[in-house]
Chain A
């Protein structure tokens, strides 16, 4: 698993060149190609009574995007990077998926995307839809958070949420591929209160010891690759504890795997990766199980 090519999706409202430049630490992990994508929402140029399809408006919006992309591309070209650009009209998620497929990117970088309350009730947010439909890692990059800008290199200190599933293995593989970029990893497993509630003290200690052993094993794998790694075992609601751990250990990014669930199960029962992607102030890297 290597990251040589990323898709940088920008609506020019949230992610700008400075956000992209903060990802250039990935060059140490092999990044050499950035593909820009700007999607002009269909409703901005859709048919209106009396005026028809707003062709002139589309042309103007394309021109604006083109000018911005050329400026960004010039900066990257001069650094020896390969750059591509796509400007499309339509719905964001299908366009992101098709460009990611066409270009064969290794990582999709996008801001968190919302819809109207009503649309979200029926189809979820654009972020959830993208996570549900993609087979590629997605970085939900909240570059400007409430607490100010994210540091120079968001890949510097990672918190890995591990649940020992197949997707956790993928998370670990992905982080190992980032060798050279990542300085420290905080590994975290969260035990649910419900799972240990009916156990005796001795049984709880056994469970605790087993998870600590597994965390230590992963730490050893990372340490061998010269990545400073620390294990943490938390108890409680997974999503809340991950956010708490991220804050306590001052990480720059949360990395979680994503299990494939059915669309309705995912929407109504929720999942840690979706919830974090929707809520967290920190950048969230989500690795699908099938990657």
Chain B
């Protein structure tokens, strides 16, 4: 059975593009349009990998990532960040959340800044999922 990749992304064009890359590489795409829906899909579908945008309505990828990594049942799901927000900001935001009392969380499996080339995304998918 093909491995499942959850793509959490609010922009429909990027969602379509990422979904096509996932499918073309033999995996099953699952789509969510914001962090809130993403968390629901994780509970329902138990994906093998999550590709996560940052700036989205309802719940950002920053908060979602933090929640995932603090949840013992979800923290081992690998996450690839795919966003126009810089990696520096992402790392600083995770530090800032830690300052507010949360535990430190590990860095994501990969951090890709938009726009991403399909070959680069495919390579990372293979590296993480095998």
Contact = CB atoms under 8 A, between A and B. Distances in A.
B85 A74 contact: yes
Contact of A70 (B55, B58, B93, B96): B55
B96 A80 contact: yes
Interface in B64-103: 84-86, 89-90, 92-93, 96-97, 99-100
A90 interface: no
Interface of A is mostly: helix
Contacts of A74: 85-86, 89
Given A74-B85, A74-B89, A77-B92, A83 B57 contact: no
Interface residues of A, number: 19
A84 B34 CA distance: 10
B119 to A, nearest CB: 24
B59 interface: yes
Interface of B is mostly: loop
Contact of B57 (A67, A77, A80, A86): A86
A143 interface: no
A78 B58 CA distance: 18
B56 interface: yes
B56 A84 contact: yes
Contacts, number: 56
Interface residues of B, number: 21
Contact of A80 (B58, B59, B85, B97): B97
A83 B60 contact: yes
B37 to A, nearest CB: 12
Residue in A77, A78, A99 whose Cβ sees the most chain B Cβ within 10 Å: A77
Given A66-B84, A74-B89, A77-B93, A84 B99 contact: no
For the complex of A and B, list the 7 residue pairs with the smallest distance between their C-beta atoms, beginning with the closest. Answer: A80-B96, A77-B93, A74-B89, A78-B92, A84-B57, A70-B84, A73-B55
Interface of B: 34, 54-60, 62-63, 84-86, 89-90, 92-93, 96-97, 99-100
Given A35-B57, A70-B55, A79-B96, 14 more contacts: A67-B84, A69-B55, A70-B85, A73-B55, A77-B85, A77-B93, A78-B93, A80-B96, A82-B62, A83-B60, A83-B62, A84-B56, A102-B58, A103-B58
